[in-house]
A and B are shown apart, each in its own frame.
Chain A
Amino acid sequence: MGRRRHRADRAGAAGALPEAIAALSRALPAGPSPETFRRAKFDRPEAAPALWQLLFSVLSQLRADSASASLSPEVQARWVKSALRSQGYPRLAQFPKDGSQGSRELLLALSWLLAGGALLERLLAQTCVRLGDEMPACECEALASPGRPAPRVEADSCAGRVDVRHLQWLMGKLRFRWRSLMASQQEQCALLGKIHSYTHGCHSDRSLGHLSITETELLRDPEYGRQLLQRLERENARLEAALEWRRREPVFWQWMDTVLGACPPEASQPAFVPGAQEHRADELALLAWELRALQEELRAAAEARRAAWAARVRGQGPDWDAAQRATQEAVAQELAALRQAWERGGGLAQPHGPHGPHRLVRSEAGLLAGPGLRAAEVIGALRSQEACLEVTLCQLQGRCRQELARLAGAAPGLIWIPPPGR
Chain B
Amino acid sequence: MATAFLLPAGCSRRLVAELQNALEACAERQRQLERSLCISRRLLRAWEPAEIPALEPTSGPETNEETPSPACTPSPQDLMELEFLTQALEKAVRVRKGIFKPGEKDKASSLKSGSIATSANTASAAPQASKSKPPKGTRQTMVHSKGLPDRRLMAVGDRSCMGRGAQAAKTGPGPREQQTFPSVVPQAPEAFTLMEKGTLLRLPMAFRKAASQNSRLWAQLSTAQTSDSMDAAMTSKTQFLQKLQTRSGWPCSRISAPEMEAEMGSLWKACSLLRLRMGKELAADFTDWMQEYRCLLTLEGLQAIVGQCLHRLQELQTVVLEQQQGPWPEERLPRTSLPCGGGTGPTWNPQVLLYSSTHELQTLAALRLRVAMLDQQIHLEKVLMTELLPLMTTQEQLRLPRLALCRAVHSLLCEGGERFLTVLRDEPTD
Contact = CB atoms under 8 A, between A and B. Distances in A.
Given A253-B239, A306-B300, 20 more contacts: A87-B257, A111-B240, A172-B417, A184-B33, A187-B37, A195-B194, A200-B199, A221-B65, A236-B214, A286-B382, A291-B309, A294-B274, A345-B341, A349-B340, A397-B415, A403-B389, A415-B426, A416-B421, A419-B415, A422-B419
Nearest to A282: B386
A146 B25 contact: yes
A227 B413 CA distance: 49
Contacts of B265: 346-348
A391 B392 CA distance: 25
A364 B281 CA distance: 39
Contacts, number: 722
Contact of A281 (B266, B294, B300, B324): B324
Interface string A250-291: 100110110010010111111111111111111111111011
A97 interface: no
A358 interface: yes
B102 interface: no
A139 B33 CA distance: 16
Interface residues of B, number: 234
Contact of B378 (A220, A272, A396, A414): A396
Interface string A112-153: 101111100110110011011011111111111111101001
A187 B278 CA distance: 39
Between B16, B261, B339, B376, the greatest number of chain A beta carbons within 10 A of the residue's beta carbon is seen for B339
Contact of B266 (A140, A218, A269, A347): A347
Given A86-B333, A346-B262, A391 B275 contact: yes
A116 B337 contact: no
B147 interface: no
A69 interface: no
A140 B305 contact: no
Contacts of A279: 14, 383, 386
Nearest to B3: A165
A416 B423 contact: yes
Interface in A297-339: 297-299, 301-302, 305-306, 309, 312-313, 323-324, 327-328, 330-332, 334-335, 338-339
A189 B323 contact: no
A180 interface: yes
Contact of A145 (B21, B207, B273): B21
Contacts of B263: 347
Contacts of A386: 367, 370-371, 374
Interface in A215-268: 215-229, 232-233, 235-236, 239-240, 242-243, 246-247, 249-250, 253-254, 256-257, 260, 263, 265-268
A396 B203 contact: no
B66 A221 contact: yes
Contacts of B346: 118, 121-122, 125, 356
Nearest to A418: B421
Contacts of A148: 21, 334
B271 A294 contact: yes
A128 B412 contact: no
Contacts of B24: 146
Between B63, B199, B257, the greatest number of chain A beta carbons within 10 A of the residue's beta carbon is seen for B257
A192 interface: yes
Contacts of A243: 217, 220-221, 224
A22 interface: no
A357 interface: yes
Given A87-B256, A392-B271, A401-B414, A198 B194 contact: yes
Contacts of A356: 340-341, 346, 350-351
A368 interface: yes
B27 to A, nearest CB: 7
19 contacts: A118-B225, A145-B335, A150-B333, A164-B405, A166-B16, A198-B44, A257-B243, A260-B244, A272-B328, A295-B307, A302-B296, A341-B273, A347-B269, A368-B354, A395-B275, A396-B382, A397-B381, A403-B389, A421-B419
A415 B421 CA distance: 10
Contacts of B213: 236
Contacts of B282: 301
B26 to A, nearest CB: 4
A199 B277 CA distance: 46
Contacts of A202: 198-203
A321 B28 CA distance: 61
B328 A274 contact: yes
Nearest to A364: B356
Given A122-B339, A250-B233, A287-B313, A404 B328 contact: no
A309 B217 contact: no
B273 A342 contact: yes
A229 to B, nearest CB: 5
A141 B340 contact: yes
A266 to B, nearest CB: 7
Contacts of A335: 298, 301-302, 305
Given A208-B352, A272-B328, A135 B365 contact: yes
B5 to A, nearest CB: 5
B249 A269 contact: yes
A94 to B, nearest CB: 7
Contact of A233 (B16, B210, B244): B210
Nearest to B207: A229
A145 B313 contact: no
A273 B320 contact: no
B100 interface: no
Interface in B330-374: 330-348, 350-358, 360-374
B167 interface: no
A383 B276 CA distance: 13
A195 B266 CA distance: 40
Given A199-B199, A349-B341, A392-B272, A143 B382 contact: no
A415 B346 CA distance: 55
A345 B342 contact: yes
Contact of A278 (B244, B296, B313, B324): B324
B52 A199 contact: no
Contacts of B363: 375, 379
A159 B245 CA distance: 39
Given A332-B301, A417-B424, A360 B337 contact: no
A75 interface: no
B289 to A, nearest CB: 7
A373 B303 contact: no
A336 B229 CA distance: 34
A38 B237 CA distance: 19
Given A272-B323, A295-B303, A223 B18 contact: no
A363 B354 contact: yes
A246 B237 CA distance: 12
Q: Can you list the 7 inter-chain pairs with the closest CB atoms, starting with the nearest?
A: A347-B265, A88-B256, A345-B342, A118-B345, A193-B358, A347-B266, A372-B352
A177 interface: yes
B210 A143 contact: no
B22 A144 contact: yes
B250 A250 contact: no
Interface string A368-391: 101111111011001101111111
Nearest to B327: A269
Contacts of A118: 225, 345-347
